[in-house]
Structure 1
Amino acid sequence: MKKVLSTVAALGLVAGLASTAAAVEFKMSGKYLVEGAYLSDARGTGLDVTEAAGQNTPSDAYWLHTFEIKPTMKVNDKISMGATIRLADDTFWGSQDDTSTTGSNVNTTTSDMYVHHLYMDYASPIGKMRFGRVPAGPYGTAFNDPDKRADRVMIWPSILASGPWSTLFYIQKNTDNFNQAGYLDETDADSDTYTARLYYKTDSLDSGLHYSYTNAMTDITKSDRKHEVTAYGKYKMDNLFLNAELTHFFGEQDNDAAATLDRDYDSWGGMLQVGAKLDALTPSLMYFYASGQDMGETAANGGDLENFLGNTAASTGTGDQFEPLYILTGRHTGMLNNDIFAVNTTMATAGVHAVVAAADYAVSNQLSLHGAIGYAQADEAEIAGYTNRDDDYGWEYNVGAAYKLLDNLTYEAHFGYLDTGDFFKSTATTDDTENVYLLTHSLTMTF
């Protein structure tokens, strides 16, 4: 309660200062989301699609909510402050007080009140600059976009902006170990990322090219250097549209120990979507891909690191902002999305090929309908488990509806059904896969 009162008092103080100081403008936007979910087969970490012989997996149901506010303070024509404050962040009802600083049963340790973003913008003579903890996930299309934050120094140079062209450069501090035990004798034990971006934007085309270099020295037994190149394009022509994104990771891990072989990064991921807006109907067809890890490429033989999505619980999957399918890429299921539950590391290691056919129909200004059919399979099926593992993730079917109760209040209901493939069998004879379904409904208020 004290934290809530402190936050309210702080916001009130800022608002009071804004109202009394003519040079300061204060604005605030945000949203409140309350959501209920029912999972047909679950064990507390998303959907459970594998069932041992003689076993019945229980169902699960829960409620959660999120309250996010985004205050902006304009100090003068050159300086402004921005923030994102979450008073609850996918907080499970009945789990904890909303003033707690530690989440429960979720893929984050800050599911309640905390400052998600906090940064300053400065309109300098050489271009716009931004300093602080900034939004760091969204880029290009929604593919591979996590709800992420990062500590950066950023600049959009005005000298390199001309017509549809613009650029962005930033330095990002990922980890700083300057005062951590075990690193005090190291000259460099940090992880830093250096990035350059080029944008080209017109009325019909939004495109960009991203390059980043990450120098990770946090493991004193090796040097880890990773490069990323991403290109995207979002094109509109009359009633047709095309969205595409392609990413390549490359680099190397240089191990200090002579007996440990060095390894290279070499992974790919991408998405292609085509569609059309035909009055009230918007059909689309999407393909997305993430390379998996070839089990012939191992640490023992110095093989390449090929899995685009990573292979640990820290994997962000195909991105928690990317949900073309309610189950396989949905935030409630713990498969290829880590928004609420951790990503299924077996799937992340195996990678994915997926095709999704979808359609949205605006019945009226208040009501819209959604439907989708998708098929997905692993890129590399022979991973940990039995060697004859099938690559089939399965077929998924979705229907959904959204109804605008007020200009700023929307109710949504979603249903997803997965005809589960045999990839999820861990042995050939002792278990079976279970077809699963998901029901969710939510209210979202924006201001």
Structure 2
Amino acid sequence: MKRFSIIALAVAAVMLFAIPAMAADLSFSGHYRARGYYNDNTDLDDDTGATNSWMDMRFRLKTKIKVNDRLSVITRFDALDNKTWGNTDNPQDNAGDDNIDWDRAYIKAKFDYFDLQLGRMGAGTWGTKFLNSAREADRIRFIKKIKPYTIRFTYEKKVEDDKGQVDSDNDEDRYMADIAYKAKGINTGLFVGYYRDMDDSDIGANAYARKYWFIGPYIKGTYGPVKYEAELGCKNGDYKDMYAAGAQDQDYDAWAYHVNLATDLGPTTVSLGYAHTDGDDDNDKGEYNAYGLGGNDWQPLLILTGFYSDRTLGGLRNLNSHKNNTDIQKSGYDLYYGTVSFSPMENVTLNGIIGTAKADETSTLGNNVDDEYGVEYDVGCKIKLMDNLVYQIKAGFLSAGDLWKSTTGKNEVDDTYSFFHELKVTF
């Protein structure tokens, strides 16, 4: 026991003296936010509709542990991630451990001819925000920088279904390469990925493999007084390569694209944008064309594209790809919008947006269905209260289009409105 105590004290002393050195190589960043939502009449029926309002919060902490000049470990966790206010933990439910979600842990190593990243890291972002859906993924990535170019090769284990299972191949793997060019006034790149999804390769007579290519070029920059950005996404290959003899295969051919032009007029910025995602013609059984809408992170309109306004809109959900259903995915959209922002003071920005959207395809919803999602009007204000502390508020009104008649079963649909505000501190 005495020997054990001496060893324990020695270890404690070493750790104590090591703390100052460790602290010098440890850095933190993150944020805390509190948000509030109010959605009115999301089923687009004033007679039966009800309001939906709540508040939530999140604390995020990112750490960088610098082992030496060429090696570091990156971690990130969220606490109370989107935790609803008033939804406290009941000790009897043993749910307290759900309040902390360790999202990322990976190494960054700099070798003589390339950089290596390995572990669970950020994924789902590339180019502009249009197709971005930020997430975490288990990856191995090699990076080579030859200014002004950056070249990356990435392997991702999207789904692992083999471990401990009888089935030998039910995984989803992704093999990706991209190159980006950055110089004064321009940022452009090309992403190419081969996606192999075998998750449904063992479901009996309906078993199939999904293998396709994703191609994603983008460009953004400035030309004189004009700021521009554009991005394209293309999915091409086998959507369903059926195993059963005589079963109907489905090819994959889906496109999405977005362009935005903006210019500054003194303290005012104006922009015009257009976005498109392919829908699917339900009458063509041999080809699947639905892209799956834009990215979760692209939310120009509070109601039509808002991440948290999509749960029950018109019984169909909205145009944000977050947990949308098959019908809205197969409808796609054409979205036209214009924005204006104005800074009357250095720490205050006022903004507004008008957008109109219609479906690319409506055959999934039925025959003779109108393609109009509607017209939305949003206004907002962002205030920098102090360094690292920002408050923002938005209000949106949707003049609902006739497409929603097919989803609500009503001869008439009513309009809806929504509010959002957030207080956020960053460090």
Q: Map 1:214-363; keep pairs closer than 5 Å.
A: 214-220=195-201, 221-252=207-238, 253-298=240-285, 303-309=286-292, 317-334=293-310, 335-337=318-320, 342-363=323-344
Higher mean C-alpha deviation, range 254-263 or range 204-213 = 254-263
1:40 corresponds to 2:43 = no
The 8 Å contact of residues 101 and 112 in structure 1, kept in 2 or not, is answered as: no
Q: Which residue number corresponds to residue 4 of structure 1?
A: none
Name the SS of the counterpart of 2:48 in structure 1: coil
Higher mean C-alpha deviation, range 317-326 or range 78-87 = 317-326
1:190, CA displacement in angstroms? 1.4
Aligned mates of 2:48, 2:243 — CA distance in 1: 49
TM-score, with structure 1 as normaliser: 0.84
Name the SS of the counterpart of 1:328 in structure 2: coil
1:89, CA displacement in angstroms? 1.6
Q: Deviations over 1:403-428 (max 9, x none)?
A: 11111111111000000001111279
1:66, CA displacement in angstroms? 1.3
Residues matched between the structures, number: 399
Aligned mates of 2:407, 2:390 — CA distance in 1: 45
Q: Which residue number corresponds to residue 166 of structure 1?
A: 150
One-letter amino acid of the counterpart of residue 67, structure 2: V
1:113, CA displacement in angstroms? 1.5
**CA gap 1:428/1:60 in 2 versus in 1, 3 angstroms:** closer
One-letter amino acid of the counterpart of residue 438, structure 1: S
1:379 corresponds to 2:366 = no
The 8 Å contact of residues 283 and 363 in structure 2, kept in 1 or not, is answered as: no
Structure 2, unpaired ranges of 5+: 1-14, 202-206, 311-317
Q: Which residue number corresponds to residue 194 of structure 2?
A: 213
Name the SS of the counterpart of 1:297 in structure 2: coil
The 8 Å contact of residues 287 and 354 in structure 1, kept in 2 or not, is answered as: yes
2:381 to 394, 397, 401: 401
Aligned mates of 1:219, 1:431 — CA distance in 2: 40
One-letter amino acid of the counterpart of residue 397, structure 1: Y
Name the SS of the counterpart of 2:307 in structure 1: coil
The 8 Å contact of residues 336 and 344 in structure 1, kept in 2 or not, is answered as: no
Aligned mates of 1:101, 1:267 — CA distance in 2: 44
**CA gap 1:163/1:392 in 2 versus in 1, 3 angstroms:** same
Q: Which residue number corresponds to residue 3 of structure 2?
A: none
Same amino acid, percent of matched pairs: 29
Q: Which residue number corresponds to residue 11 of structure 1?
A: none
Aligned mates of 1:101, 1:195 — CA distance in 2: 40
2:58 to 66, 74, 95: 66
**CA gap 1:295/1:32 in 2 versus in 1, 3 angstroms:** same
**CA gap 1:98/1:245 in 2 versus in 1, 3 angstroms:** farther
Name the SS of the counterpart of 1:296 in structure 2: coil
**CA gap 1:98/1:247 in 2 versus in 1, 3 angstroms:** farther
Q: Map 1:101-180; keep pairs closer than 5 Å.
A: 112-157=99-144, 161-180=145-164
**CA gap 1:182/1:72 in 2 versus in 1, 3 angstroms:** same
Aligned mates of 2:390, 2:23 — CA distance in 1: 36
**CA gap 1:262/1:17 in 2 versus in 1, 3 angstroms:** farther
One-letter amino acid of the counterpart of residue 149, structure 1: E
1:238, CA displacement in angstroms? 3.7
1:190 to 167, 171, 174: 171
Higher mean C-alpha deviation, range 123-132 or range 18-27 = 18-27
Q: Which residue number corresponds to residue 413 of structure 1?
A: 393
The 8 Å contact of residues 228 and 248 in structure 1, kept in 2 or not, is answered as: yes
**CA gap 1:95/1:442 in 2 versus in 1, 3 angstroms:** same
1:28 corresponds to 2:28 = yes
Aligned mates of 1:237, 1:171 — CA distance in 2: 36
Aligned mates of 2:135, 2:98 — CA distance in 1: 14
Aligned mates of 2:68, 2:23 — CA distance in 1: 6
Aligned mates of 1:446, 1:171 — CA distance in 2: 32
1:17, CA displacement in angstroms? 8.6
RMSD across aligned positions (CA): 2.4
Structure 1, unpaired ranges of 5+: 1-14, 42-46, 104-109, 310-316
The 8 Å contact of residues 156 and 173 in structure 2, kept in 1 or not, is answered as: yes
Higher helix share: 2
The 8 Å contact of residues 91 and 111 in structure 1, kept in 2 or not, is answered as: no
User: Greater Rg, structure 1 or structure 2?
Assistant: 2
**CA gap 1:356/1:430 in 2 versus in 1, 3 angstroms:** closer
Aligned mates of 1:17, 1:229 — CA distance in 2: 52
The 8 Å contact of residues 23 and 75 in structure 1, kept in 2 or not, is answered as: no
TM-score, with structure 2 as normaliser: 0.88
Aligned mates of 1:264, 1:124 — CA distance in 2: 42
Q: Which residue number corresponds to residue 313 of structure 1?
A: none
